C-alpha cells in the first residue's frame, strides 16, 4: 500500500506521522482487511516499524483500531550492541569458548 501525506514531522532523519495521518493510514488498512474478509474485524493487529513510535502515532493507531481486541505496536531494532554467547558444556571450563551470535 502506498500512502502519501504532508502531515508528518521529522525526527532527525526519520519522518513521523501526526495523529490524524496515522489514524487515516490505520483506518484505511482496516477497511482493506474488512473488504477482503466479509466485513469482519481482525482479532489482532500487529504494526511494526524500524523507528520508535511517537505519542501521536500510538494515539492514531488506537483511535483507528478501537474495535480490535489486540493491538501490538513493535519497533524492530535492526542494530544492537547486544550479543549472545554460546557455551559448550561438554568442554572443561578452562577450554570453553564464546561464540558471537547475531540476533536478527
What are the pLDDT digits (tens) for 8-64?
566 666 778 999 999 999 999 999 999 999 999 999 999 999 888 999 999 999 999
- Number of Cα atoms under 13 Å in the Cβ half of residue 1: 11
pTM: 0.65
pLDDT, residue 61, reads: 96
Long-range contacts of 41-47 (CB under 8 A, 24+ apart): 41/67, 41/68, 42/68, 43/68, 43/69, 43/70, 44/68, 44/69, 44/70, 44/71, 44/72, 45/70, 45/71, 45/72, 46/71, 46/72, 46/74, 47/71, 47/72, 47/73, 47/74
Amino acid at each position: 500500500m502506498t500512502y502519501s501525506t504532508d502531515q508528518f514531522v521529522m525526527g532527525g532523519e526519520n519522518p513521523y506521522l501526526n495523529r490524524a495521518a496515522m489514524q487515516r493510514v490505520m483506518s484505511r488498512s482496516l477497511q482493506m482487511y474488512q473488504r477482503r474478509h466479509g466485513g469482519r474485524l481482525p482479532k489482532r493487529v500487529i504494526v511494526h516499524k524500524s523507528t520508535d513510535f511517537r505519542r501521536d502515532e500510538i494515539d492514531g493507531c488506537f483511535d483507528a483500531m478501537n474495535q480490535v481486541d489486540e493491538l501490538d505496536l513493535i519497533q524492530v531494532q535492526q542494530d544492537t550492541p547486544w550479543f549472545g554467547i554460546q557455551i559448550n558444556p561438554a568442554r572443561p571450563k578452562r577450554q570453553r569458548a564464546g561464540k558471537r551470535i547475531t540476533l536478527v
